[in-house]
Chain A
Amino acid sequence: MTGDPATSAMSQPSAPPPAPTARSLPLHTFVTMFVRLLAIQGSWNYELLLGTGIGFCTEPALRRLPGGKGGASYRQALARQSRYFNAHPYLAAVAVGALSRAEIDEVPPAQIERFRTALCGPLGSVGDRLVWAGWLPFSSLLALVAFGFEASPVIVLLIFLGVYNVGHLGLRAWGLIVGWRRGLRVASALANPVMRQGPLHIARMNAFLAGIALPLSLARVLDPGKALPALFDLFSGNRPLGGLLKIRLALAVPVTLLAALMGAAVLVSGHGRFEGWRAALLMLGLFALYSVVRS
C-alpha cells in the first residue's frame, strides 16, 4: 500500500484519510443527480459499461467547479467521469456522490482515477448480493404470498412495487448522500451491517417466504382454492360431494409437486449447465406440440 487515500480508502477502511473540506450542493442539484441516477444505465454498453452514466449523473455537480459549465475544470472532470466504470446500478449512487465530492474538492486527477477504479469491484458485488439475489426475490415472494391468499391484483402490485421500491429508492438516495458526505472515505459505508449481514438475513427470509409462497401459488393457479384442500380432505378420509372430481384434483397436487421436485432436482444437479427458464420453454413447447398434434 502506498498510503494513497484513493486506494487505501477501499482496502483499509480502518485507516481513513483526512476528512474532505466541508462543501455543500444546492438541493436542486442533489434532486437532479438523483433523478439522473434512475437513468444511469441509459446507454449501457460493452465498451464503457456504466461510464457514460456516471458522467451523466455527476455532471450537475461538476457545474460548481471553478469556471462553471464549459470551463476547463468542468470539461476535464466530465471527461474523467465518463470513462469505463462498472458497478451495481443502484450502488453506483455511492460512486456518483463520492466522485462528485472528490471533483468539487479538487482532489488530484490521478488520485480520483485510482479511487474510481478501486470502487468498481465492491459496488458491484455488494449490490448484486443485496439487491438482485436478496431484495428483488424477497419482494417477489412476498407478492406471491399475497397472490396465493387471493389478494386482488391491485394489492399484489402495491405490495411488490411498494416493498421493492422502498429499498430501491432508499438505497439510491442513501448512496448519493453517503457518497457525497464521505468522499474518498466512503469505503467505511460499505462495511456497515446492512451491507455485510443484510444478504444473509434476507436469504433466510427468502427461504421462509418461498416455503409459504410455492404451495399457495400452486394451489391458486392449479385450481383456484380447491386442489390442495381436496388433497387434505382425501388424506383425512373426508370424501363429500363430487368425490371423483375431488380425488382427481387431489391426485393432481402430489403429481404436480413430484414433477416439480424432479424437475428442480435435475436443474440443481445441472449446476447451471442449463437455465431453468430455457428448460421450461422447451418442456412447455413440447407439451403444446403434443397436445395439438395428438388431436
Chain B
Amino acid sequence: MSAAELVMLSVLGALLGLDVVSFPQAMFSRPLVAATAAGAALGNPALGLTAGAVLELIALDTLPVGASRYPEWGSASVVGGALFATFGNAPAGALVLAVTGALATAWAGGWTMFALRQLNGQWARRALPALDAGSPHAVMGLQMLGMTADLIRGGLLTLVALLVLVPVAARLVLHWHAGDLVSHMMVVACAVAVAISAMWKLVHGATHAKWFALAGLLVGLIAVRSR
C-alpha cells in the first residue's frame, strides 16, 4: 500500500469516523458504505462491498444507543474494506483477516470514542461558567472542538490500524493453511450467526414476526434457486 493510498484512506476513515456520531450521522459510516468506499479508493469496490456486507451483518447486532459503549464501524470498515481490496483477489485467508482486522479496529474505535466523550466532558466542565453566562462562543467552541477532535480521532485510528494490520495480513496470507471455501464458510457462519441473533433481539417481541421471517426465508430460498 503506497503512502498516497494510506493518506487517502486515513482521510476517508476520519470523515466516516466523524459520521458515526458527530456529523452528520447519515450512516455513511455503516460497513456497507465505508468498506465499499475503501475498496473503491483502492480500485476494487466489489471486494470492498463483499467485506462490507459481512461486516454489516455483524453490525446489525450493535445499536448506537446514547451513552452505551459500542464499536466504531466507520473507520473500522474502511480498514476492513481496504484489507480485502488489497489481498482479496487471490489468498484464501483474505476475507477472514479483513473482517478480523475490522472487528479489532471497531473495538479499539469504541475505546477511542469513549475517551473522546470523556475529553469532551472535561472541556465542557471547564466551559461551564461561560455556558452558564449564555456565551455563544462557548457553545460554538465546544461543538467545533468536539467535531475536530473526532475527525482527528478517526483519521489517526485508521492510519494506525492500517500501518499495523497491512504488514501483518501480508505475512499471514502467505502462511494461510485453510482452503478458500472453509475460510469463507467460517466468516459467513460467524456473520450470519450474529445477524440471526441480532434480528431475534430486534423483532421477536413483534406479533407474528416468526411467520414473517419464515415467509421471507421461503422467498429468499426461491430467489437463490432461480438466480
Contacts and interface: CB of A to CB of B under 8 A. Distances in A.
A221 B146 contact: no
A240 B145 CA distance: 64
A132 B30 CA distance: 13
Nearest to A264: B196
A48 interface: yes
B187 interface: yes
Which size class do B's interface residues fall under? Answer: 35 or more
Contacts of B23: 38-39, 41-42
A215 B134 contact: no
A239 B124 CA distance: 68
B146 to A, nearest CB: 3
A210 B216 contact: yes
Nearest to B210: A207
Contacts, number: 365
Given A214-B195, A267-B193, A39 B147 contact: yes
A234 interface: no
A148 B103 contact: no
B192 A260 contact: yes
Contact of A156 (B49, B144, B172, B221): B49
Main secondary structure, interface of B, reads helix
A211 B97 contact: no
Contacts of A164: 26-27
A52 B120 CA distance: 11
A59 B50 contact: no
A283 interface: yes
Contacts of A83: 131
Contacts of A90: 25
Contacts of A218: 188, 192
Contacts of A47: 121, 124-125
Contact of A203 (B22, B66, B150, B202): B202
A13 B174 CA distance: 66
A79 B62 contact: no
B152 interface: no
B25 A89 contact: yes
B128 to A, nearest CB: 9
Interface in B191-227: 191-203, 205-210, 212-221, 223-225, 227
